Amino acid sequence: MVAVYVAGGSNVDAPRNVKRAAALLRQRFADIRFSHAYQNAPAGFDGADFINFVAGFTTSEPLADVVAALQKIEAACGRARLAPKWEPRSMDLDILLYGDEINLRGSPRLPRPDLLRRSYMLGPMAEIAPDVVHPTTRRSVGELWREFDAASHPLTPIDLDLARD
């Protein structure tokens, strides 16, 4: 079994799409756990605030199957597969870590480079997996979060229970 961590986010009908994605993730991955949901400003473009979260689960499935499952969930939330990168999203599910796999040139890039640059990825992951060691820095996610400049992109916790309907 491999431990997988996924960042999720939406800024289009965000509460509904985040709850829908969480429900579909729960159906697909039995041992899934979720961080709190957080509201934050978009990074890289102007638009409505995002609701972001991180989910962790274990699987024996190959990476390609996990990617395909996440893309199906994105589509169920209204995401167009070929949508431009820096624009509003109904749902974005990005694999942050797939075990200790390192793939710096392929797709998806692992570990996800944004994990070390985005508070909305690193903070929620540190919440559910502070002792997980980042495969390239060889430091724990909790340690990386404690040293992160969280004030540069603040997260506001919101009351959205992703662990159940």
| Cα atoms in the Cβ-side hemisphere of radius 13 Å centred on 74 | 23
Q: Identify residue 154 by its one-letter amino acid code.
A: P
In which band, very low, low, confident or very high, does the pLDDT at 165 lie, cut at 50, 70 and 90? low
Per DSSP bridges, beta strands 50-59 and 2-10 are: antiparallel
| CB 153 within 8 Å of CB 43 | yes
Residue 78 neighbours by CB distance under 10 Å = 15
Per DSSP bridges, beta strands 92-98 and 50-59 are: unpaired
- pLDDT computed for residue 130 by the predictor: 98
The model's pLDDT over 2-31, given as tens digits with 9 standing for 90+, comes to 999 999 999 999 999 999 999 999 999 999
- pTM score, two decimals? 0.95
Q: Identify residue 38 by its one-letter amino acid code.
A: Y
| Cα atoms in the Cβ-side hemisphere of radius 13 Å centred on 135 | 18
Contacts of 121 (CB under 8 A, 6+ apart): 7, 52, 54, 94, 96, 112, 114, 115
The model's pLDDT over 47-95, given as tens digits with 9 standing for 90+, comes to 899 999 999 999 999 999 999 999 999 999 998 777 667 678 899 999 9
- pLDDT computed for residue 156 by the predictor: 95
Query: Which residues face 156 on adjacent strands?
Result: 39
Q: Look-up: residue for tokens 């829908």? A: 20
| Residue 107 pLDDT exceeds 90 | no
The model's pLDDT over 111-150, given as tens digits with 9 standing for 90+, comes to 999 999 999 999 999 999 999 999 999 999 999 999 999 8
User: What would the two tokens of residue 88 be?
Assistant: 């509003």
In which band, very low, low, confident or very high, does the pLDDT at 44 lie, cut at 50, 70 and 90? confident
DSSP class per residue in 29-92: -TT-EE--EEEE--SSS--SPEEEEEEEEEE-S-HHHHHHHHHHHHHHTT--TT--SSS--S-E
